[in-house]
């Protein structure tokens, strides 16, 4: 028996001696990766359009040397091939990059944006796991990702990396709660300084943007993720809990106005504008015998129908030809209706003194108004959750006025 086991023992010992350097190297890498401090960096909104939502990054600082690395998932390039086409199709590529905070932080300060640092109470194994993932993700072959405004951006990527390091404890504590906000509400309040862009975004968002968000979902907004992190606790193997954020430090105070807490509600203002436009169109149509009224009605109605129709074609293209999931099934197609383009010739033809709308034009006008009224009726059903009250209030009176103007009886 002994003579049989001794060669086996020597073989095992030989394998241990051969593999020992590998085990030692692996342990050294893990120890080095764990010998760092990790912090969540949040940067407040800036003045550029792409800065309105704020920014998140992960700061890793070596305890021995003090050297710091900033892992940033918000890098994009206007000069990349087919940038604008990819943007329109929903195929925009972002990437992760590693930079020196000594270079980035002064730029944020110069833009007037605040900077907050939250030191994270991760243990050595969690720090090592996070750094290994970030370094893997920073490699050129892994750095790019398909950007999506609400579900894959600089904040959600940071959130997911940190959640991976703590084995899902962040998601477990934020997935259930909600403050009742939606993607649309956050987008509109953050884009409030750009009113035209805000309205365009509101018109282009479909029902995907109107579901109530958990705290986890709402962490697509960097500032919201920063706030959520303050309430997360980590539980270790013994069952002891500790706050994830060990220290919260404002590194720089911003001097730009903070975004509002709630989105604007302009429904009543939109209704007032819609009724005013409807009254104007009806009044001009009644005075059609006068040249100035014909010109006013023809150009006003023609330009409006052209704008509505073109907007409808854009909404239809966003739904059917792109991967912008937040633009699919947009109920505003019943208000910004491509059928409006068929009314443009009739509206401009009304510039003639003896003009009479064709029966076909009258039917199209009535159909457009009926579809707009249908959208108002659909709001009573839970299957149609899109919050487009503003557009109903603005456009339904206008469509009704055009339909009345084209279909009203006329003297011979």
Looking at the whole model, is its pTM more than 0.85?
yes
For residue 394, give both structure tokens.
Answer: 């603005």
Q: Report the Cα–Cα distance between both ends of the chain, in Å, rounded.
A: 121
170 contacts 162 by C-beta, under 8 angstroms: yes
Q: Where are the domains of the chain?
A: 34-252, 267-407
Tens digit of pLDDT at every position of the chain (412 positions): 333 434 444 433 333 333 334 333 333 334 345 699 999 999 999 999 989 999 999 999 999 999 999 999 999 877 777 777 887 888 889 999 999 999 999 999 999 999 999 999 999 999 999 999 999 999 999 999 999 999 999 999 999 999 999 999 999 999 988 899 999 999 999 999 999 999 999 999 999 999 999 999 999 999 999 999 999 999 988 889 999 999 999 999 999 999 999 999 999 999 999 999 999 999 999 998 899 999 999 999 999 999 999 999 999 999 999 999 999 999 999 999 999 999 999 999 999 988 889 999 999 999 999 999 999 999 999 999 999 999 999 999 999 999 999 987 655 4
Please state, in angstroms and rounded to a whole number, the distance separating the CA atoms of residues 307 and 302: 9
Number of residues in the chain: 412
Please list the residues that pair with 57 across neighbouring strands.
41
Distances (CA, A) of 77 to 84, 100, 113: 10, 19, 21
Distances (CA, A) of 159 to 55, 135, 315: 12, 16, 31
183 contacts 117 by C-beta, under 8 angstroms: no
Q: Which fold has domain 34-252?
A: endopeptidase fold (from Nostoc punctiforme) (3.90.1720)
């Amino acid at each position: 028996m002994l003579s049989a086991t001794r060669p086996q023992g020597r073989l095992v010992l030989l394998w241990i001696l051969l593999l020992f350097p590998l085990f030692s190297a692996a342990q050294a890498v893990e120890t080095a990766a764990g010998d760092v401090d990790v912090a969540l960096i949040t940067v407040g909104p800036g003045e550029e359009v792409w800065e309105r939502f704020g920014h998140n990054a992960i700061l890793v600082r070596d305890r021995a040397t003090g050297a710091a690395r900033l892992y940033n998932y918000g890098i994009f390039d206007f000069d990349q091939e087919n940038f604008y086409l990819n943007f329109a199709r929903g195929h925009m590529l972002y990437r992760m990059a590693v930079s020196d905070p000594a270079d980035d932080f002064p730029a944020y300060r110069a833009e007037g944006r605040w900077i907050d640092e939250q030191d994270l109470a991760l243990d050595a194994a969690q720090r090592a796991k996070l750094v290994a993932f970030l370094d893997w993700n920073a490699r050129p072959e892994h750095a790019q990702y398909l950007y999506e405004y609400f579900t894959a951006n600089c904040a959600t990527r940071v959130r997911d990396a940190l959640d991976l390091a703590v084995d899902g404890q962040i998601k477990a504590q934020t997935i259930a709660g909600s403050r009742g906000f939606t993607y649309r509400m956050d987008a509109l309040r953050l884009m409030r300084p750009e009113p035209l862009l805000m309205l365009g975004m509101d018109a282009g968002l479909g029902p995907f943007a109107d579901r109530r968000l958990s705290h986890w979902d709402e962490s697509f907004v960097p500032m919201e993720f920063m706030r959520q992190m303050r309430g997360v606790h980590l539980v270790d193997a013994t069952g002891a809990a500790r706050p994830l954020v060990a220290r919260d430090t404002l590194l720089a105070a911003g001097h730009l106005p903070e975004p509002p807490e709630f989105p604007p509600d302009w429904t009543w203002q939109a209704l007032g504008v819609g009724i005013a436009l409807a009254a104007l169109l009806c009044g001009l149509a009644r005075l059609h015998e006068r040249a100035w009224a014909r010109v006013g009605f023809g150009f006003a109605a023609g330009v409006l129908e052209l704008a509505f129709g073109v907007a409808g074609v854009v909404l239809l293209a966003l739904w059917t030809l792109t991967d912008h999931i937040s633009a699919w099934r947009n109920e505003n197609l019943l208000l910004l209706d491509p059928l409006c383009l068929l009314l443009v010739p009739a509206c401009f033809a009304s510039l003639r003194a003896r003009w009479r709308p064709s029966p076909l034009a009258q039917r199209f006008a009535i159909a457009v108004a009926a579809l707009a009224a249908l959208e108002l009726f659909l709001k009573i059903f839970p299957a149609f959750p899109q919050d487009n009250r503003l557009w109903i209030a603005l456009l339904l009176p206008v469509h009704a006025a055009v339909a009345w103007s084209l279909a009203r009886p006329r003297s011979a």
